[in-house]
Homo-oligomer: A and B are copies of this chain.
């Protein structure tokens, strides 16, 4: 059972939650819902909320006060349609590998940047890093710049990736090319030459999808 049609009461509940959330900035309590809909018993509200959750109309967080949110539907609360919030997971500099966030890790970064979805084609697996130092100027990336990356271990020819070079023990941002069994890493700065490396010594850590430089 997924989407049953709503009872009159359940519609009222949804409606009230929507209004309350909009006006208060946070969801109502069970008792507030009951009061607005004319239910004296908290258990009945709870009962209906569970129904609504089963129906996919909202999500609940158990044991959490006001722990519910409307499903992202026609006019969901957040409405964050075209704004992506990308975790700023750390710094990137030449002398250390990229701090790639773990796959299933539900980390909670206290910092994040927001960009419009239109700036990237695929919003999956993105994270952001701030560049530390001048070591990546050959990638046209300056101290303080923010690079948005997608986590991936494989690179296709021509993509700009962050790689860790075992031999040199450094992280660098380069355009990646696999040619005749060796890797050519081409700086973005057209005035500079490529470096070559053995594929075994190159570890791709992510693909650069966006570089942001904010001026003071």
Contacts and interface: CB of A to CB of B under 8 A. Distances in A.
16 contacts: A15-B110, A19-B85, A19-B108, A19-B110, A22-B78, A24-B61, A26-B66, A75-B114, A78-B78, A78-B79, A115-B116, A137-B189, A209-B214, A210-B213, A210-B214, A211-B211
A137 B25 CA distance: 40
Q: How large is the interface on A (under 10, 10 to 19, 20 to 34, 35 or more residues)?
A: 35 or more
Contact of A110 (B36, B159, B160): B36
A215 interface: yes
A190 to B, nearest CB: 5
Contact of A26 (B12, B26, B113): B26
Interface string A136-159: 010011100000000000000011
Contacts of A134: 190-191
Can you tell how many copies of this chain the complex includes? Answer: 2
A6 interface: no
Interface in A64-94: 65-70, 75, 77-83, 85
Interface of A: 12, 15-16, 18-19, 22-27, 29, 36, 59, 61, 65-70, 75, 77-83, 85, 108-116, 118-120, 134, 137, 140-142, 158-160, 188-191, 207-216
B212 A111 contact: no
Nearest to A116: B114
Contacts of A59: 25
A50 B15 CA distance: 32
Query: 4 smallest A-B Cβ distances: which pairs?
Result: A25-B69, A211-B213, A114-B116, A65-B65
